[in-house]
Structures are given as structure tokens and as C-alpha cells.
Amino acid sequence: MLETRWAAAKKIFEENGIEADDFFTGADPTEIKKIITDALNRGDVDGVWMDAGDGAVAAIEAFEDAGVDYPVMTGEDEMSFLRKWEETGLTGLAPVYSNFQWRTPLLAVEKIFAGEEVPAEWVLPQTPITEDERSDYLAANDGMPDGHYAKFGGEELPGFPDARTDR
């Protein structure tokens, strides 16, 4: 999943003449913040493409600590990033590698046991959250924890969101 997204981003960057340094951090926010801080100490950072929302928050904090303007950033549809994006007003985009990927095999098993055909290719919704939609997703997921993905695809599941928010 991560490797697939990075391969796509790298291809697009190369096609558009964008030089990008890549780092795999193990999702360690301290490491992410250190990498961004080091890059800022070497010069300007024009943009940050993050594969995860929580890591994007650490990257944003590095810019705050350095007292410099935010670049264009991505950070996925995780609530922590959406909230920080809203708070800071930075120019951003929340790509979605939907959590449908996790429940699709379960839906396939359900179809198989019901004797229904499973599609040969199952295209998952991956439309990013834009600035124009951000407040709608924040409102729809109000009260959800930072690690929740706004476009997780389970809004129609029984007990949502009460089962999560009434703990």
C-alpha cells in the first residue's frame, strides 16, 4: 500500500520535473519532525507529500518550530491531519487510500457465501478531501479520535458513530 502510493507519487514527480527526497520513517513522528527540521536547516522546503495524517502533523509542527511558512502539504484523511489543516489554514490536500481496502475482502467473502459473483477488479473509492470539503468531513466525524479516517466507508454500519464515541 505505502510502496504503491510512493511509486505513483514518484512517477508523477519525475514526469513534472519535481525533485523529491524520500524517507521511510516507520511512522515515527519524532523521526518525521527531525527529517523536516534538518531539511529546513539546509534551505527551503517547497512541499511535503506525506503518506499518513499523523505523520503530517509532526511535519507541520517542524515548520511551526522553525517559525517558517507552511508549504503545500498532503496528509491523508486522518482526523489529526484534517484538524491541523483546518487550524493552520495551510494549502493542503487529503489523499485517501480508503479503508475500504480492509473491509473489501470481508464483503467478497460475504458475496461468495451468498453465491454471488465477486468482481474480477474491485475499484475502491479514493477521491481526496479538498479544502472545500474539509469542514464537511470534520463535522461528519466530530468526536472521533485523531487516528480515525474520515472517509473510512463505514458510516452506514450499525452503531456508527455511537459505538466509537460512547466508550
In sequence order, the β-bridge partners of residue 72 are: 47
94 phi, psi to nearest 5 deg:
-115, 90
Q: What is the pLDDT of residues 61-102, one digit of tens each?
A: 999 999 999 999 998 899 999 999 999 999 999 988 766 667
Spell out the domains of the chain, with CATH numbers in brackets: 2-97+126-151 (3.40.50.2300)
Q: What is the pLDDT of residues 19-69, one digit of tens each?
A: 888 887 878 899 999 999 999 999 889 999 887 777 899 999 999 999 999
Q: Which three cell numbers stand for residue 107?
A: 464483503
Phi-psi sector, 67: left (phi>0), alpha (psi -120 to 50), beta: left
**Cut 0.85: pTM above it:** no
